[in-house]
Structure 1
């Protein structure tokens, strides 16, 4: 904490020996620059990643995953500068696809968003430490967040339950097969409980309507666009797929219901959205188009719940392959 490296939780001292041992298990050169991270735009080298991963307690096997996530965060379309500087409580979410979920024991079933013990969760904390120590996100200095978020401590890192999902893996739908990460700027988690629905359309109606609240960034005139990620448990996913076989139709239904009547908003709010041509037949939608509703499958088999991840708005989801690294033979 005196050095400015800490996040308030105990850290493992990144001694030279520990960092060397971490790096020895990879085929990356320590001075290799992976990316530049705003707002400092400092070089994020493999050695800096190793230092922060050691402090977080992340095993060396998570290095390729962390690198892939950082590459996504550094993409200009992710707009990490805005995420790091904003007054909002936005935090990067890291979704993992592929066999690496099991290799690293990344949770994607019961308790996948918190409470399921897993050493791999330290990888999420490592990413957060890198955003702090390399990118330079400092509250009241480079970051004006009003409240912050609990997710800014360990991050939000989990997998998709591909084996139970009726849809193709999320990363594969975005053109990346196998081991991959997708980074998404979220305001946090929103629980949606539904104890009455029995059919796919009913589940989607309840889910969509639950996502539609006026204070979400997707309804703000300050945001020109927004995505909307929704996690559906495997029990609901099976019923939804039975009744609505095409994912595009699932996205369409959530999008339609995730809207509010424009006259429900305050006058000034409505007028600003009308000036941006965002009022469609008297309604405003949390995402720009149905394709911007990002549907994933994970969570426990107890059913009853979905989770909404409202987006910051200007951060566009990025997907990257998790690669073993260059061949240095």
Structure 2
């Protein structure tokens, strides 16, 4: 893209659908080339094809997306593995685009890269944190959806209620976490940096100011996990992310390891199936393949491995959060970030 005034170029991007609804940085050739250098990709290199669609994505297009999202070239070491993770078929990007649920691509950044690049991990970090790396890298991940299910050059959302995270949804793990790094749950070495993605609904705040024992805090979180409106109750194979605030994490970590936290939540986040049927969350006469057993206690997940834990947010407030995954997302997809 070249020529014309900056304002004209921004308006042109709106007109042709190169936007998520907010103004973008026009993808001038010099900016795209600079981003390609940072990504260490040749512009014509084909990165992926979208399953079920006659669509190939080349590196030049991805670099243009990074420019439009407002990313700096210094973020390239994060953007490359992030692109690979988003296009991993296990994320089911096509499903994310057609579902009527409110779903966005959730990004978790962990390891030394958090401080090296300058991601915000304290106050408001689940909500954007007024941080350029958080906002633009998270926005880039959402804009990659442009290649999937676009109609007439514009992204089309199908969510009945939608999700504000479809603009940007990124959480950076606290470097001083009381637990092993987040990506260790996906089998990566603890000492590396990583970016992890899944498709997820919006965060639910968990407020517990008066329990100073691990069990009390985890019981409150379990109650949030098991609320009647949970998407996962019928098939119970979606994942959940528990974002432990540092005050809660300090208390919980004195009593439990992270794996023990996951086991505890799995055992305690349950509701009676008869109650779920009365509330309309499962059918009165469920199909055999649904695994629903009437009269039993039911968890929204079928094993503790679907419960992920990360430490984030600010100290000084006894809050945590629960982020329900979409039922089509069964794991976090993690990629190692190269060292500088």
TM-score (norm. length: structure 2): 0.86
Alpha-carbon deviation of 1:24?
3.5
Whether the aligned pair in 2 keeps the contact of 1:19 and 1:51 (CA below 8 Å) is yes
The reply to whether residue 62 of structure 1 matches residue 66 of structure 2 is: no
1:297 alignment counterpart:
311
Judge which range, 69-78 or 208-217, deviates more: 69-78
Counterpart CA distance in 2 for 1:106 and 1:39 is 35
1:57-96 map, 5 Å: 57-96=70-109
Superposed structure 1 runs of 4+ greater than 4 Å apart: 137-143
Alpha-carbon deviation of 1:274?
6.6
The CA RMSD over aligned residues, in Å, is 2.4
1:164-313 map, 5 Å: 165-177=177-189, 178-219=192-233, 221=234, 223=235, 225-244=237-256, 246-266=257-277, 269-272=283-286, 276-279=290-293, 282-313=296-327
Counterpart CA distance in 2 for 1:34 and 1:320 is 15
**Greater length-normalized contact order (CA 8 Å, ≥ 6 residues apart):** 1
The reply to whether residue 318 of structure 1 matches residue 333 of structure 2 is: yes
For residue 17 of structure 1, the aligned residue among 30, 39, 45 is 30
2:122 alignment counterpart:
109
1:158 alignment counterpart:
171
Helix, strand or coil for the counterpart of 1:296?
A: strand
TM-score (norm. length: structure 1): 0.89
Helix, strand or coil for the counterpart of 2:132?
A: coil
Counterpart CA distance in 1 for 2:45 and 2:62 is 10
Instruction: Quickly say closer, same or farther: Cα 1:116–1:98, change in 2 above 3 A.
Output: same
Counterpart CA distance in 1 for 2:200 and 2:35 is 30
Alpha-carbon deviation of 1:41?
5.5
Counterpart CA distance in 2 for 1:41 and 1:112 is 37
Judge which range, 15-24 or 43-52, deviates more: 15-24
Whether the aligned pair in 1 keeps the contact of 2:236 and 2:300 (CA below 8 Å) is no
Whether the aligned pair in 1 keeps the contact of 2:107 and 2:169 (CA below 8 Å) is yes
Counterpart CA distance in 2 for 1:253 and 1:160 is 22
Whether the aligned pair in 2 keeps the contact of 1:187 and 1:310 (CA below 8 Å) is yes
Spell out, residue by residue over 1:293-316, the C-alpha distance to the aligned partner (whole angstroms, 9 max, x if none).
111111110232111000111212
Helix, strand or coil for the counterpart of 1:113?
A: coil
- The answer for unaligned runs of 5 or more in structure 1 is none
Count of residues in Structure 1 that have an aligned counterpart in Structure 2:
319
Counterpart CA distance in 2 for 1:176 and 1:12 is 34
Counterpart CA distance in 2 for 1:147 and 1:303 is 30
Instruction: Quickly say closer, same or farther: Cα 1:273–1:68, change in 2 above 3 A.
Output: farther
Counterpart CA distance in 2 for 1:20 and 1:276 is 51
- The answer for unaligned runs of 5 or more in structure 2 is 1-13
Alpha-carbon deviation of 1:92?
0.9
Counterpart CA distance in 1 for 2:125 and 2:144 is 23
